[in-house]
Amino acid sequence: MIIVVKNNPDKKQMDNLVKWIKGLGLDIHMSRGDNTTIMGLVGDTSVVDEDLLRSLDIVESVKRIQEPFKNANRKFHPEDTVVDVGGHKFGGGHFQFIAGPCSVESEEQLITVAKAVKAAGATILRGGAYKPRTSPYAFQGLKEEGLRLLSVAKKETGMPVCTEIVDIRCLDLYEDVDIIQVGARNMQNFELLKELGRTKKPILLKRGLAATIEEWLMSAEYIMSEGNTDIILCERGIRTFEPYTRNTLDLSAIPVLKELTHLPVLVDPSHASGHARLVLPLSLAAVGAGAEGLEIEVHNDPPHALSDGAQSLRPEQFDDLVRRVDVMLPVVGKERDR
Ligand code: PEP
Ligand code: MN
């Protein structure tokens, strides 16, 4: 981090600043020119409050050289992290499909969809038991019963399961869940993230509705700083001025993340678009941009789905999508787990 000090700084203020920085355990590389003094901060600058520095009378400007995320940073961990979910690997050239209904609705619905997506090539079954809905009057999920049905489907199909957590008080109920999803609305629920950091479960961390890439990585950092490094990031579209699609899929985030972090990166084209017919083109684009897997909503009867029917693929559409992605995978140097 570099601090440019204003011309002719007050000596007392300057001494206080130096003392404060050293008190944070940092060294200072001081460069005094005729008119300008530049301070180079050496050490772990993630502890520095940049805005506070900027607000000081004697400070002209502050520039951060190093990203504030350490554990997630590729600079300190150049090789890809590979996350194992029930024997299926994410990252490091592996490609996975997580598929299933938005919400778990009944045993029959879940098992029907699970068998269909497994036959098509999905390795992980998704299904929401606790649903974070925009309206409190919308279907909120089958909750504990939904988690029970996921266990039944897991036993019946052998597929590991992925489901969202919305309340840390329910964590004990997630014993049989293989990968815990943190939804867009909870990406900055820091207490939830810290608690998940103390578990040993892989976490699927979705991007917040209006989160920058750095904010998203700082959320991963919350989990990692507590010890859990099994994190998979999932780009699911961000809020923009464009109302035609539910969200705007930020494809550029994929290669940017691959530069910044060693964590695997997935894409959810279902929530990004909000329309079933857009899921295929966005999936292909995501694969082209370097996604290491796709999370896709599939329903056996989309018009009657209790949530997100408009964006849910029918099993045969999902099967067709997997075939088309398969054609692309050798081009991007990835192999689908079978
Ligand atoms: C979901 O996966 O069903 C979901 C609610 O996703 P998001 O948090 O991305 O909106
Ligand atoms: Mn959904």
Render pLDDT for 30-39 as a digit per residue (tens, 0 to 9). 888 888 899 9
The protein residue whose alpha carbon is closest to atom 4 in ligand 1 is: 183
Integer-rounded Cα radius of gyration of the chain: 23
The protein residue whose alpha carbon is closest to atom 3 in ligand 1 is: 102
The predicted structure's pLDDT at residue 83: 98
pLDDT over 90 (residue 19): yes
Beta bridge partners of 90: 83
* CB-ligand 1 contact for 102 (6 Å cutoff): yes
The protein residue whose alpha carbon is closest to atom 9 in ligand 1 is: 184
Q: How far apart (Å, rounded) are the C-alpha atoms in residues 178 and 123? A: 12
* CB-ligand 1 contact for 184 (6 Å cutoff): yes
- The rounded mean pLDDT for the chain is 96
Q: Which domains, from first to last, does the chain contain?
A: 2-63 (3.30.70.1140), 83-336 (3.20.20.70)
The predicted structure's pLDDT at residue 71: 95
Q: How far is CA 305 from CA 61, 99, 119, in A?
A: 53, 15, 21
Atom of ligand 1 nearest to the CA of 183: 8
pLDDT over 90 (residue 118): yes
Angle at 27 between CA 22 and CA 29, to 5 degrees: 125
* 219-246 pLDDT per residue, tens: 999 999 999 999 999 999 999 999 999 9
Q: DSSP secondary structure string, 278-299?
A: HHHHHHHHHHHHT-SEEEEEB-
Model pTM? 0.92
Q: How far apart (Å, rounded) are the C-alpha atoms in residues 161 and 38? A: 53
With cut-offs at 50, 70 and 90, classify the pLDDT of residue 216.
Answer: very high
Contact 227, 39 (CB under 8 A): no
Tell me how far the alpha carbon of residue 213 lies from the centroid of ligand 2, in angstroms: 22
Q: Residue ranges of the alpha helices (H) in the chain? A: 11-23, 50-54, 107-120, 144-157, 190-197, 213-224, 253-260, 269-273, 276-289, 315-328
